[in-house]
C-alpha cells in the first residue's frame, strides 16, 4: 500500500471550482479522456447535498514498467489501451465543500488506484482586508483542495486479473494463476513486485495530478472570462483539436480497440 | 461538452448537460436545492445510456466496482486516515 498526497489552493470561489470540476472535460490537458457519462445524480432531501456518479473512459495503457514485471501474455490480451474510471462526488453548497473519489474499474488485482479529493471553501478575509486599499478583492475567496491517492497491488495474492475474467471462466483462471506462481513468482518476491508496481503508480500520479490541476485552471479561467458560454466554446475547440470535427467516436473506431470489436459485433447481430 | 460512451446518446446527453449546468450554477449553488428542472432530460439520457451499458456488459462491471471494491477500499481508507 502506497500513498500520494498533495495540497493546492485555487484563487477562485468554491462555486466556480465545483462547477469547473463537472465541466473539466474536455480541456487541453485531457486529451486522454475519451468519454464522460453521468450514471446517477440526486439531491439528498435531508442534507441538500448533490450526489453524482460518473463513468469516464480514458486512454491508458498499463505502464511498460509494470508490463515487464508480469508473466508473458498476462498484460497483453486485455490491455486494449482504454480503461474505465468510476467517479463519485458529493457537493455541500451550504458548508462549501465537495468530496470526490475516482477509482479504476479493471486491473484492480494488478493495481488498484483510488484518488480522493476534498475541496473546501476558504475565505481569505484577513488578506482581503489588508489589501482593501489596493482594491484587490478578486482573490478574496479561495478554494483549497487536498488530494490523496492510494495504490494497492494484490498481484500474486490469488486474484490476478480481477473479477471479470475469473467470473467468466473459473477453471481457466485457476490454471493461469498456477502457472505464473511456479514459473515466475517463485524467482522473485511477491511483496517486492507489489512494491515496485505501487511505486510506478506513485510516480505516474505526480504527473497526472499536476496535469489535472492545469486542466482545471484552464476551465476556471474560461469561466471567469466568458462564463459557461466561454467554457463551452473553449471545449468545442479542444474537441476539434483533439478529435477532429467528427468528435470522439470516430477516433475510437479508427484507433482499434476492444470497443471497436464490440461495436462491430453489435452491428452484425 | 464531453462525449458519451454511446454515440447514439450524445444528442440527449448534450441537452441534459446544458440543462444541468444552468440549474447547478443558477439555482442549486444559490440555495434553490429542491428544484429538479432537468429530471425529464436525465430520464431520457439515462434510458439511452443504460441500454448501451447493458449491451456492452459495462453495467455488471459498474455494479461490481460500486459494491465490492468500493466498500472494501473505503474501509481500508478510513482505517488509515
pLDDT at res. A188: 62
Read off the pLDDT of each residue in A38-55 and give the average, rounded to a whole number: 96
Q: Which residue of B has its CA nearest to A23?
A: B1
pLDDT at A179 over 50: no
- State whether the Cα torsion A187-A192-A197-A199 is positive or negative: negative
* Cα–Cα dist B11/A201, whole Å: 36
**How many domains in chain B?**
1
Other CB atoms within a 10 A radius of the CB of residue A62 amount to: 21
Of A262 and B45, the one with more pLDDT: B45
Three-state DSSP at A234 gives: helix
Retrieve residue A178's grid coordinates.
498456477
Of A122 and B74, the one with more pLDDT: A122
Q: Which residue of B has its CA nearest to A152?
A: B73
Residue B1 belongs to some domain of the structure: no
pLDDT at res. A11: 93
* Cα–Cα dist A121/A152, whole Å: 31
Determine whether the interchain pair B3/A38 forms a contact, defined as Cβ–Cβ distance below 8 Å.
no
Determine whether the interchain pair B7/A249 forms a contact, defined as Cβ–Cβ distance below 8 Å.
yes
ipTM exceeding cut-off 0.90 for this assembly = no
Please tell me which of the candidates B29, B46, B55 has its beta carbon nearest to residue A15. Answer: B29
Report the first-to-last Cα separation within chain A, whole angstroms.
Answer: 44
- Domain extent, residue B58, equals 9-80
The H or E element that residue A84 is part of is strand A82-92
pLDDT at res. A14: 95
Please tell me which of the candidates B4, B20, B73 has its beta carbon nearest to residue A37. Answer: B4
Please tell me which of the candidates A106, A228, A247 has its beta carbon nearest to residue B25. Answer: A228
What is the number of CB-based contacts under 8 A between chain A and chain B? 111
pLDDT at res. B14: 95
pLDDT at res. A233: 85
Please tell me which of the candidates A26, A34, A86 has its beta carbon nearest to residue B66. Answer: A86
pLDDT at B22 over 60: yes
Other CB atoms within a 10 A radius of the CB of residue A196 amount to: 17
Residue B71 belongs to some domain of the structure: yes
Per-chain mean pLDDT for chain A:
75
In the block, residue with C-alpha cell 505501487: A198
Chain A CB contacts of B6 under 8 Å are: 37
Share of chain A above pLDDT 70, in %: 65
Fold of A2-264: Alpha-D-Glucose-1,6-Bisphosphate; Chain A, domain 4 (3.30.530)
Determine whether the interchain pair A43/B62 forms a contact, defined as Cβ–Cβ distance below 8 Å.
no
- pTM comes to 0.75
The alpha-carbon gap from A135 to the nearest alpha carbon of chain B, in Å, equals 26
Candidate from A104-113, A133-142, A169-178 with smallest mean pLDDT = A169-178
Determine whether the interchain pair B29/A93 forms a contact, defined as Cβ–Cβ distance below 8 Å.
yes
Residue B62 belongs to some domain of the structure: yes
pLDDT at A163 over 80: no
Residue B4 belongs to some domain of the structure: no
Q: Give me the phi and psi of A136, to 5 degrees please.
A: -100, 90
pLDDT at A266 over 50: no
CB proximity list for A49: less than 8 A, separation 6 or greater: A43, A90, A91, A92
pLDDT at res. A251: 45
pLDDT at B70 over 60: no
Name, of A96-110, A193-207, B45-59, the range with top average pLDDT: B45-59
Strands (E), A93-249: 97-104, 112-123, 141-152
Amino acid at each position: 500500500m502506497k500513498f500520494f498526497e498533495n495540497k493546492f489552493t485555487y484563487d477562485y470561489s468554491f462555486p466556480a471550482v465545483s462547477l469547473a470540476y463537472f465541466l473539466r472535460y474536455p480541456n487541453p490537458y485531457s486529451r486522454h479522456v475519451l468519454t464522460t457519462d453521468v450514471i446517477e445524480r440526486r439531491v439528498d432531501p435531508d442534507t441538500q447535498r448533490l450526489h453524482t456518479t460518473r463513468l469516464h473512459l480514458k486512454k491508458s495503457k498499463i505502464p511498460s514498467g509494470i508490463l515487464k514485471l508480469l508473466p508473458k501474455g498476462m498484460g497483453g490480451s486485455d490491455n486494449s489501451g482504454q480503461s474505465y474510471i468510476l467517479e463519485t462526488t458529493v457537493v455541500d453548497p451550504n458548508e462549501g465543500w465537495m468530496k470526490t473519489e475516482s477509482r479504476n474499474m479493471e486491473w484492480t488485482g494488478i493495481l488498484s488506484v483510488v484518488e480522493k479529493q476534498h475541496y473546501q471553501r476558504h475565505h481569505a478575509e484577513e488578506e482581503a482586508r489588508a489589501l482593501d486599499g489596493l482594491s484587490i478583492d478578486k482573490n478574496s475567496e479561495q478554494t483549497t483542495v487536498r488530494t490523496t491517492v492510494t495504490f494497492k497491488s494484490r498481484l500474486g495474492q490469488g486474484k490476478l486479473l480481477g473479477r471479470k475474467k475469473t467470473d467468466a471462466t473459473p477453471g481457466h483462471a485457476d490454471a493461469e494463476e498456477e502457472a505464473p506462481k511456479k514459473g515466475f513468482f517463485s524467482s522473485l518476491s511477491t511483496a517486492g513486485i507489489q512494491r515496485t508496481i505501487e511505486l510506478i503508480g506513485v510516480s505516474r500520479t505526480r504527473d497526472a495530478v499536476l496535469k489535472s490541476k492545469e486542466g482545471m485552471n484552464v476551465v476556471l479561467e474560461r469561466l471567469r472570462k466568458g462564463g459557461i458560454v466561454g467554457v463551452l466554446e473553449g471545449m468545442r475547440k479542444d474537441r476539434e483539436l483533439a478529435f477532429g470535427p467528427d468528435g470522439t467516436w470516430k477516433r475510437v473506431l479508427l484507433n482499434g480497440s476492444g470497443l471497436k470489436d464490440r461495436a462491430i459485433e453489435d452491428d452484425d447481430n | 461538452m464531453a462525449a458519451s460512451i454511446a454515440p447514439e446518446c450524445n444528442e440527449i446527453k448534450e441537452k441534459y448537460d446544458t440543462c444541468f449546468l444552468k440549474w447547478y450554477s443558477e439555482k442549486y449553488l444559490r440555495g434553490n436545492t429542491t428544484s429538479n428542472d432537468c429530471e425529464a432530460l436525465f430520464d431520457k439520457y439515462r434510458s439511452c445510456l443504460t441500454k448501451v451499458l447493458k449491451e456492452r456488459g459495462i453495467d455488471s462491471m459498474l455494479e461490481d466496482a460500486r459494491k465490492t471494491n468500493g466498500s472494501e477500499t473505503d474501509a481500508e481508507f478510513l482505517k488509515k486516515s
